[in-house]
Structure 1
Amino acid sequence: MTECIFCKIIDGSIPSAKIYEDENVYAFINIMPVTKGHLLLVPKKHVENVYDFSEKEASQLFAVAPKIANALKDKFKPVGMNLLQNNGVAADQSVFHFHLHFIPRYDETDGFQLSWITKEAEYNTEDLQQIAAAIREEIGE
């Protein structure tokens, strides 16, 4: 994808603060970090979102995630970490090349907020079981 900013970072035509690279994935510091150490892990192959991954491609990327997370934990001693990944405009995806954010958390006032309003009043136990059954059916379980 010649217009994809992450593809350009991977091929070296846009500079980055590289963290990790192997034949399948590339990790680099986010140029607009929320906290110290905020980085992105991306597949080298252009994959728009999680829906486009093969199982093999996903496993190659997620196999590296603990290595990256533990390096952040050991080096910067955050008290927590958010892993965040958005798919589609409605989910706030802004770069349409799959990327997994690693956001080290240092305290509750470090600049990152993630919140939602739960819908527990809208779903009873039977509804939840029906939703689970529908998803299992789609998976083939």
Structure 2
Amino acid sequence: MNDCEYCNLKFEEQRIVLENEYCLYLQLLKPEIEGSGIIIPKAHRETVFDLTEEEWRHTYLLLHETKKVIDKEFGPDGYNVGWNSGTVAGQHIFHAHLHVIPRFADEPFAGKGIRNWFKSKENRRPNYDFENSNIDSKSSP
């Protein structure tokens, strides 16, 4: 992809900290939260759903190596790890990337996880009747 930011890294905002045969871990140079970064496949894959089995396996392996590096360098109290897939889900760069965000107890939003925003009433779809939905939360699939 000629115009993909992650296929054509310029290293102005991030640095490669770790890599394996299939993936890179890029740490942001000026992150909002220290130690934050992303794991990306080396091959262009638009979303997480486009990864190959090998890319999944190597993402998993790199995630565990990444945690060791962040734990040693920054000593976080927790982590948020997640993918955005598609415009509506917040994906802005269409090259799959796994966010790895260390979290610290002294942050103003400590304790607010990635589900916080969609659990709020303000984010409910206009025509969705949550109270009268026919989803039985106690049944299993």
**Fold shared per TM-score above 0.5:** yes
Q: Where does residue 2 of structure 1 map in the other structure?
A: 2
Q: Where does residue 109 of structure 1 map in the other structure?
A: 108
* Structure 1 residue 17, shift from structure 2 partner: 1.5
Moved over 6 A (4+): none
The two structures have a TM-score, normalised by structure 1, of: 0.76
**Count of aligned residue pairs for this structure pair:** 125
Q: Report the identity percentage.
A: 26
The two structures have a TM-score, normalised by structure 2, of: 0.76
Measure, in 2, the Cα distance between the counterparts of 1:110 and 1:35.
11
Q: Unpaired runs of 5+ in structure 2?
A: 125-129
* Structure 1 residue 104, shift from structure 2 partner: 0.6
What SS is found at the alignment partner of 1:5? Answer: coil
Q: CA RMSD in A?
A: 2.5
**1:61 to 2:59 alignment:** yes
Q: Where does residue 75 of structure 2 map in the other structure?
A: 77
Match runs of 1:32-43 below 5 Å? 33-43=31-41
CA contact (8 A) 2:25 2:62 kept: no
Q: Describe the shift of the 1:88–1:6 C-alpha distance in structure 2 as closer, same or farther (beyond 3 A).
A: same
* Structure 1 residue 110, shift from structure 2 partner: 5.6
**1:18 to 2:16 alignment:** yes
Amino acid at match of 1:109: P
